[in-house]
Amino acid sequence: MDVDDEAGRILREVFGYPQFRGEQREIIGHLTAGADALVLMPTGGGKSLCYQIPALVRRGMGVVVSPLIALMQDQVAALQEAGVRAAALNSAMSWPEVQETERQARAGELDLLYVAPERLLTERCLSLLDRCSLALFAIDEAHCVSQWGHDFRPEYLQLAVLAERYRSVPRIALTATADIATRKEMIERLRLHEPRVFIASFDRPNIRYRIAEKDNPRQQLLRFIRDEHAGESGIVYCLARASVEETADFLVRQGIDALPYHAGLDSGTREDNQRRFIRDDGLVMVATLAFGMGIDKPDVRFVVHLDLPKSVEGYYQETGRAGRDGLPADAWMVYGLQDVVQQRRMIDQSEASADYKRTATAKLDALLGLCETTQCRRVRLLDYFGEAAAPCANCDNCVERPEEWDGTVAAQKLLSCIARCESATGFSFGAQHIIDILRGKRTAKVEQFRHDRLSTFGIGADLEVAQWRALVRQLVMLRLIHIDTERYSVLRLTAACREVLRGERTIRLRRAIDRSTSRPGSRSVDRTRVTAAQAARVLLSEGSWGAADENTHTLLFQALRAWRLQVAREHGVPAYTVFHDSTLEEIARRRPGSTHELRAVSGVGAIKLERYGAGILEILAQSRLHSFGQPAD
């Protein structure tokens, strides 16, 4: 058997894809040959195929270590829809279901077995694997092994036992993002044997990155969803549980289907909400970072951060949950000075080591640099991961280049005011008090400390509060100001500010503007968009397909989604496991007239063609019947 030919056959016949992408073929060949690998590939880049196909080519059963029950359930459902013998072992299963899955594994009736690290490490599970023929081990979300990472999980550290117990079984570790230090740590802690490291491009060209000033964030969020993503699935991240509850409740009151998710909810509610998000269309999940790792929902059209993440890695990982199907998606964030203060406080007040705090501070500084840059955000983001790129013409900074200004004099005023306040009273003050002095505002606090007598009182009245707060953020990012969170988040000067005060250093800054809502040149909203249910009704209305071709395509796509949703509910699986939106889009665009033509569509494998081909062709025939002879594309 030619391994390469067999892998290509499985890709086409089982998964329905015409060709490999990027380094998939090379990774699959390397693992199939029995060697270890570390794979860094962005979300939506096709990581799963890198171990699923070798598991089908090699003799024995592939074991996939997956961190979340919901994730493994959905992946198993998708594989079963494609005709692959897949199963999972997890705590949500009944005892008879566990026994049956274990019997199938021992009997060689499974191609892939998904298991959580906690269960894998039990003696019962290891003993089961001892009695099975094993093709490979795939360790998904492998960055969880890193104690420096944003999703550290102690149980991942114990997965090194696989290297000792199953020395002849190849292993592949996969993640969407990891810096150089984390890559080295994954190799060492998982004890991969002379692994080949595959690093795909980190670029997600279908995602538009947009970052704006925080100003009434819930109203900003509401405008963003209503103007650009009405009726679409998305994730909204908040830092605190209370914010999650309040934001979800706010969206529901505004007529948007939204659910909360955080660790404070009981497990049943969390599981139900996650299941609804994965299986339903058009639902918004408002969540803390407890939600999202490994979410395999391809049609998430937007990811929002209402609070600042902890690092560029975390930001990239979380935004990468949007647009897994390759269609346009938005990564949208609003943040302000209070977010910086809050993150600094969390670092300073943690019980972690000094080394960890230094690393966490450096990661936060890098994220602030991404937020405040006037250059292409994609260039800055990819540069963090060591990848060079040209301006993308798709992020907010490229679409509307932010204005820069010479902030040297303003910075000198601010720094001088901080110094004079401390000199006059013997202690420091927070940003709002400093801004009040600069703008000449006689608050009770200003008068209490007689700061209206300072030479800096009123010298900054020419700038608005938002501009001063933006200046503070940028000077913190430039390490000219330090936020002392151990003393009520007061502002302190650093040694580096002396050059600015002496006029030896010029400060070019980003001018604060509100770009939280749509701007000219932003991704246009399809105003002809209709819901799947509406399209299904329209499909039965004779003559409705005779409209302009763009409307015809939209109606056909939504009719296919309505059909897919009905099929998914009948099968008890998420809709995307039947077909991805990208596959339905291609079907709507090409309008195949036969099973042969339908088979040529990416994502339509042999089993799915057999199961669903007739239903799809019937919908396409209806569209032709009611389009008055309008030719297909």
- List, for residues 460-488, the tens digit of each pLDDT value: 999 999 889 989 988 988 889 988 877 67
pLDDT > 70? residue 293: no
Half-sphere exposure (CA, 13 Å, Cβ side) for 610? 7
535 close to 555: Cβ distance less than 8 angstroms: yes
Show which of 181, 199, 217 is a domain's final residue: 199
Q: Which residues of 113-133 are buried (b: 16+ CB within 10 A; e: fewer)?
A: bbbbbebbbeeebeebbeebe
pLDDT > 80? residue 428: yes
456 close to 465: Cβ distance less than 8 angstroms: no
If pLDDT is split at 50, 70 and 90, which confidence band does 549 have? low
Q: Are residue 331 and residue 446 in the same domain, yes or no?
A: no
Q: Is beta strand 508-510 parallel, antiparallel or unpaired with respect to 490-493?
A: unpaired
Q: Are residue 389 and residue 362 in the same domain, yes or no?
A: yes
pLDDT > 80? residue 362: yes
Structure tokens at 250: 């706010």
Residue 301 in domain: yes
At CA 592, angle to CA 586 and CA 597, rounded to 5?
100
Q: Are residue 496 and residue 538 in the same domain, yes or no?
A: no
Residue 291: predicted pLDDT? 79
Distances (CA, A) of 147 to 9, 138, 142, 155, 181: 40, 20, 12, 11, 11
Closest CA to 128 of 161, 102, 147, 90: 102
- Give the whole-angstrom CA distance, residue 535 versus residue 285: 25
Mean pLDDT of 574-585: 87
Q: Are residue 45 and residue 170 in the same domain, yes or no?
A: yes
pLDDT > 50? residue 70: yes
- Give the whole-angstrom CA distance, residue 356 versus residue 347: 9
Q: Is beta strand 37-40 parallel, antiparallel or unpaired with respect to 196-199?
A: parallel
Distances (CA, A) of 230 to 273, 320, 529: 20, 20, 9
Half-sphere exposure (CA, 13 Å, Cβ side) for 415? 26
Closest CA to 487 of 402, 531, 427, 550: 427
If pLDDT is split at 50, 70 and 90, which confidence band does 533 have? very low
Show which of 350, 382, 399 is a domain's final residue: 399
Q: Are residue 370 and residue 428 in the same domain, yes or no?
A: no
Coil, strand or helix: which one is 286? strand
Tokens 């400390």 locate to 449
**CATH number for 563:** 1.10.150.80
Residue 633 in domain: no
Task: Return the DSSP state at 365.
Answer: H
Residue type, 495: A
| 607: CB partners within 8 A, 6+ apart | 14, 81, 82, 83
Q: Are residue 388 and residue 440 in the same domain, yes or no?
A: no
- Give the whole-angstrom CA distance, residue 153 versus residue 149: 9
Coil, strand or helix: which one is 607? helix
The DSSP secondary structure of 523-551, one letter per residue, reads PPP-TT---HHHHHHHHTSTTGGGS-HHH
Q: How much is the mean pLDDT over the chain?
A: 87
pLDDT > 80? residue 531: no
If pLDDT is split at 50, 70 and 90, which confidence band does 512 have? low
Residue 212: predicted pLDDT? 92
Q: Are residue 575 and residue 500 in the same domain, yes or no?
A: no
Q: Which segments of 213-353 does DSSP mark as H helices, in order?
A: 217-228, 241-253, 267-279, 312-319, 337-348
Q: Are residue 327 and residue 432 in the same domain, yes or no?
A: no
Q: Which domain holds residue 506?
A: 406-510
410 close to 463: Cβ distance less than 8 angstroms: yes
φ, ψ of residue 394 in degrees (nearest 5): -135, -20
If pLDDT is split at 50, 70 and 90, which confidence band does 514 have? low
pLDDT > 80? residue 88: yes
Show which of 380, 399, 418 is a domain's final residue: 399
pLDDT tens per residue across span 307-343: 999 899 889 989 989 998 888 999 999 998 889 888 9
Residue 493 in domain: yes
Q: Are residue 319 and residue 344 in the same domain, yes or no?
A: yes
Residue 525 in domain: no
Residue 485 in domain: yes
| 52: CB partners within 8 A, 6+ apart | 62, 79, 84, 112
Residue 521 in domain: no
Residue 515: predicted pLDDT? 52
Q: Are residue 389 and residue 319 in the same domain, yes or no?
A: yes
Q: Are residue 136 and residue 29 in the same domain, yes or no?
A: yes
Structure tokens at 170: 């190849």
Q: Which residue has the higher pLDDT, 134 or 344?
A: 134
Judged by phi (left if over 0) then psi (alpha if -120 to 50, else beta), residue 288 lies in beta
Q: Are residue 411 and residue 287 in the same domain, yes or no?
A: no
Residue 151: predicted pLDDT? 66
Residue 613 in domain: yes
Domains: count for the chain: 4
DSSP β-bridge partners for residue 114: 64, 88
Residue 630 in domain: no
359 close to 366: Cβ distance less than 8 angstroms: no
Distances (CA, A) of 507 to 54, 68, 408: 55, 47, 5
